[in-house]
Amino acid sequence: MASCDRMPRMIDQIRASKLPSNMMQFAARGALAVSAAENLEIMVYLARHNKVFGDLARMTLAGWDEKASLAAASDPNTPREVLDYFISPDNLRPKLLPALVENPSVSEGELAKFAISASREAVEAMLQSPRVRASAGILDSLKANPYLKANELNEVTKLTSPASSQLAATSPGTSEAAHQPVAAVDLATESDAPEEISDPVLVAVSAQSDEPGDVADEEVSAYLAEHAAEIAAEPDKPFQAMGVVDLLGPDYFPVSAVAETESAESGSSAAGQSAGTAAVAKPQPQPKTIAHVAKARTHGGPDRENTLQKINRLDVKGRIQLALKGNKEERSILIRDGTKVVSLAVLDAPKLSDGEVEKFASQKNVLEAVLRTIPLKRRFMKNYIVVRNLVANPRTPLDISLGLMKNLLVQDLKNLSSNKEISETVRKLALKMFKQKLEAANKK
């Protein structure tokens, strides 16, 4: 009881930085002799406002007891600052989201703001929330989320229509029934039985693949239909690789990249080089799709065309088809495409190998969306190297890294704790988990 009476004075002293440094350190570690809820409030204040102990408080919050965190996220009496910290995309722990969404003390305005940039996993959780499905404001914000799938957009549109709102008000069972289509969506479901390509022109392109098996046209069509809205927003956006363009500029990239790729093709014949030079001197109409590229190749087009040149000829739809149907080299380039719908198509390619995903998970020159999508696929998460590479990648979002760290082995936690490239929060938590696992192993 005495500690509770002392709480206002304690938080006031912390705000005024009047506590000695050792007490402030205890506060940042959640080790003060107050309740778990009070410790949370103090740590959130330090994480947001204290430059000296803020990192330590953030690390402690990231590994704070899940039951205590869930209780705070569910409690309407939890201070607003704590709830705002939990719902922030930088700090959100996925298991807390359902409780936060249903907590009436988390305003609809805050949830609407969160919905615009929510991760794919968060979008799924929000679509299953009765509160979200009954709020036109939150649903309107979800429509702007780039991770919302086409079928979910249709579902959200129906929920925000006047007829749907009236039906929801008069039929208690509507909300429960409306869950079914969304609940059926499973990001981790992938096709392992691709069918044969029937289009002879597309077969000509697929024949270049260095891997066995083909991809059914139905799979490509399904992906294009599912992402139709994203494709329609930028149908002719050219290929721009992440990283290289940012450093060298868009005018420099095509020249340097083409030269590098051409130098790697030591087997190119003199006749092929002459044809390529002639093509530069006398511009040809630029084919847009894979089918057009194949047709140009079989009807008097250049005898040889390096991978980057082929990709540069394609529009967004063409690059998506190549991402799903192409070979390993093509996927390694397209994963760095600055157009999100193209780079994510690579992760849906049936011929994608575990070795490629391991490499993607460690790359710093890919979109954040790629690093967020990899953990959503069960097949990838069964590969320990993928998990380790994601956590060690400084480009991986903090919430993803923190969520995956519990799966790491002791030696990898030790290596992470000294990795200067990654976030200090991740390093410190890795050191804490390393010591905990080491102590647990020594006790056995």
pLDDT band of residue 239 (cuts 50, 70, 90) is confident
Is the per-residue pLDDT at 149 higher than 90?
no
- Taking the C-alpha atoms of residue 265 and residue 427, their distance in angstroms, rounded to an integer, is 42
Give the per-residue pLDDT at 305.
56
Alpha helices in 171-304 (DSSP H): 174-183, 200-206, 217-226, 228-233, 244-248, 253-264, 270-281, 290-298
pLDDT, one tens digit per residue, over 250-277 is 443 343 343 344 444 444 434 444 444 3
Give the per-residue pLDDT at 100.
93
- Taking the C-alpha atoms of residue 16 and residue 159, their distance in angstroms, rounded to an integer, is 48
Q: Which residues of 211-225 are buried (b: 16+ CB within 10 A; e: fewer)?
A: eeebbbbebbeebbe
User: How many CB atoms are located within 10 Å of the residue 83 CB?
Assistant: 22
Q: 102-116, 165-179, 286-300, 394-408: lowest mean pLDDT where?
A: 165-179
Mean pLDDT across 389-416: 90
- Taking the C-alpha atoms of residue 10 and residue 1, their distance in angstroms, rounded to an integer, is 14
Give the per-residue pLDDT at 44.
92
Report yes or no on whether pTM surpasses 0.85.
no
- Taking the C-alpha atoms of residue 261 and residue 144, their distance in angstroms, rounded to an integer, is 38
* DSSP character string of 111-129: HHHHHHT--HHHHHHHHT-
Judged on CB neighbours under 10 Å (0-12, 13-18, 19+), 207 is exposed
Highest mean pLDDT among 56-60, 219-223, 282-286, 295-299 belongs to: 56-60
Which residues touch 415 (CB under 8 Å, ≥6 apart)?
392
41 or 287, higher pLDDT: 41
Q: Which residues of 336-347 are buried (b: 16+ CB within 10 A; e: fewer)?
A: bbbbbbbbbbbb
pLDDT, one tens digit per residue, over 338-379 is 889 999 999 999 889 989 999 999 998 899 999 999 999 888
With beta carbons less than 8 A apart as the criterion, state whether 356 and 386 touch: no
pLDDT, one tens digit per residue, over 48-62 is 888 888 888 888 888
Mean pLDDT across 298-324: 74
- Taking the C-alpha atoms of residue 11 and residue 53, their distance in angstroms, rounded to an integer, is 15
Q: What's CA 136's distance to the chain center, in Å?
A: 26
Highest mean pLDDT among 79-88, 163-172, 273-282 belongs to: 79-88
32 or 147, higher pLDDT: 32
Q: 164-168, 170-174, 322-326, 405-409: lowest mean pLDDT where?
A: 170-174
Structure tokens at 84: 């705002």
pLDDT, one tens digit per residue, over 84-130 is 899 887 788 888 999 999 999 998 888 988 888 787 888 888 999 99
Average pLDDT score over the chain: 74
Is the per-residue pLDDT at 170 higher than 60?
no
pLDDT band of residue 163 (cuts 50, 70, 90) is low
DSSP state of 405: G
Give the per-residue pLDDT at 210.
43
Highest mean pLDDT among 69-83, 202-216, 241-255, 273-287 belongs to: 69-83
With beta carbons less than 8 A apart as the criterion, state whether 292 and 266 touch: no
